[in-house]
Amino acid sequence: MSSDVTRLSQWMDHHRTRMELGPLSILIRKLLSHSLLSTDDQQAIAALPHKLRRLQPGESILREGDQAEICPVLLSGFAYRQKVASDGGRQIVALKLPGDALDLQSLYLEKADHDIRMLTTAEMALVPLAAMEQLTIKRPAVARAVLIDILVEASIGREWLLNIGRRNALARLAHLLCELHDRVSDIASEASEYFEIPLTQEQLADLLGLTPVHINRMVRQLEKMGAIGRPSRSLTILNLSELAKISKFSSAYLHRNNVSGV
């Protein structure tokens, strides 16, 4: 089975070898998944000033209450948004994948209302927020693409609320895995049904509003059905169609065909 598994890191390595416009090519590719951008617009994004930085799992790039000065773009690895309750309980409210700009909302909001932490070792390009703001002012198509990206993230957030509030535990987990597959496919160099999800059971619990014990039961149930595998601490999707059947998954909320309506 290991020979059949296409890892996200391998996809990103392949992507880096074909980046004609430099590190920010992956952001351009993400924006093109839902917006039309001219060659000049793409080149303007690629020319944004940026510094490269590598962070380790658990490190923060933004904390609640911060006034952001940079817009980090995730080049490889996974990150997440979290909110922390007064008693210390954590809720993961968003997962960020390679190609995602981690804090576009700070273009319009003065202070951060959440934390952003690394889920895995991650590489990112740190773009000055002022430079990103000037680009959106000068180039309406880029501004529109940024707005659509923010709206798509809000749409995903609404679906997560539905997932936690109305789907049973097995469907919650299956739905999340289907979503991650579709989102990865938007930026991957090649599509594959098989890839690993670097989420521990504790992190899945904080994301899906369940206990780690309950997550463990759901993971074992999906394993018995042949839908996922656990070659290590992470999960591997083995049967996407089975996960979609369990969760009645529809990707409409990801707005992947938005370009056709432009």
pLDDT at 197: 83
pLDDT at position 11 over 70: no
pLDDT in tens, 34-61: 999 999 999 999 999 999 999 999 999 9
Average pLDDT for residues 148-155, to the nearest whole number? 95
Cα(232)–Cα(217) distance, rounded to whole angstroms?
A: 17
How is residue 144 annotated by DSSP?
H
Q: Which tops the pLDDT comparison, 2 or 148?
A: 148
Classify the C-alpha dihedral 194-26-9-117 as positive or negative. negative
pTM: 0.86
pLDDT in tens, 75-125: 999 999 999 999 988 999 999 999 999 999 899 998 999 999 999 999 999
Distances in Å between the alpha carbon of 178 and those of 49, 144, 233, 238, 249? 35, 27, 19, 11, 7
Average pLDDT for residues 181-195, to the nearest whole number? 70
Tracing tokens 């780690």 back to the chain, one arrives at 212
**Alpha helix positions (H), the chain:** 8-17, 25-32, 39-46, 129-138, 140-166, 169-187, 201-208, 212-224, 240-247
**Residue 171 one-letter amino acid:** A
pLDDT band at 196 (very low <50, low <70, confident <90, very high): confident
